[in-house]
């Protein structure tokens, strides 16, 4: 190998060192692989909340309150407050008209609300 090639190899090696210093930190923080890292705190959602700003047109609005109302085959806990007939009384925004079929029934494709609407909470991880 002539010395130019050695120089190239050296340069590559050094740039690798610089790159290694910028490596992203693991989510487990400084905990060694042989130990279990403490889990991050569970998200705490407010029982009630005010509508959060939307970032883009047609965005499914974020859920500003706890998302644990049950959605089962027989019962949808979200409609209890967001069904248009009850919304005003519950001080909640009525479910969007696009979610209903021509007969005024909730479209099956919109039944699982949390497929599109997600709660929002800032949760610290071990790395931040």
Residues of the shown chain interacting with ligand HEC in the complex, contacts defined by CB under 6 A: 48-51, 58, 60-61, 63-65, 67, 69, 76-82, 90-93, 95-96, 99, 106, 110-117
Q: How far is the CB of 41 from ligand HEC (least distance, A)?
A: 22
Per the DSSP assignment, residues forming a β-bridge with 76 are: 71
Which lies closer to ligand HEC via its Cβ, residue 37 or residue 69?
A: 69
Which lies closer to ligand HEC via its Cβ, residue 39 or residue 70?
A: 70
SS (H, E, C) 79-126: HHHHCHHHHHHHCCCCCCHHHECCCCCECHHHCCHHHCCCECCCCCCC
Q: How far is the CB of 123 from ligand HEC (least distance, A)?
A: 19
CA within 13 Å, CB half, 33: 0
Q: How far is the CB of 76 from ligand HEC (least distance, A)?
A: 6
Which lies closer to ligand HEC via its Cβ, residue 37 or residue 61?
A: 61
The token pair at 100 is: 């209903």
How far apart, in whole angstroms, are the C-alpha atoms of residue 33 and residue 7? 37
Q: How far is the CB of 79 from ligand HEC (least distance, A)?
A: 6
Which lies closer to ligand HEC via its Cβ, residue 28 or residue 65?
A: 65
The token pair at 12 is: 């590559």
């Amino acid at each position: 190998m002539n010395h130019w090639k050695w120089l190239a190899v050296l340069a590559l090696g050094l740039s690798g060192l610089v790159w290694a210093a910028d490596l992203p930190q693991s989510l487990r923080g400084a905990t060694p692989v042989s130990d279990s890292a403490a889990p991050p705190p569970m998200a705490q959602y407010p029982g009630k909340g005010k509508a959060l700003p939307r970032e883009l047109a047609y965005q499914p609005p974020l859920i500003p309150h706890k998302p644990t109302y049950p959605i089962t085959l027989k019962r949808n806990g979200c409609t209890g407050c967001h069904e248009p007939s009850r919304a005003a009384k519950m001080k909640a925004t009525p479910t969007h008209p696009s979610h209903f079929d021509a007969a005024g029934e909730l479209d099956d494709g919109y039944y699982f609300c949390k497929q599109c609407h997600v709660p929002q909470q800032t949760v610290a991880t071990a790395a931040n």
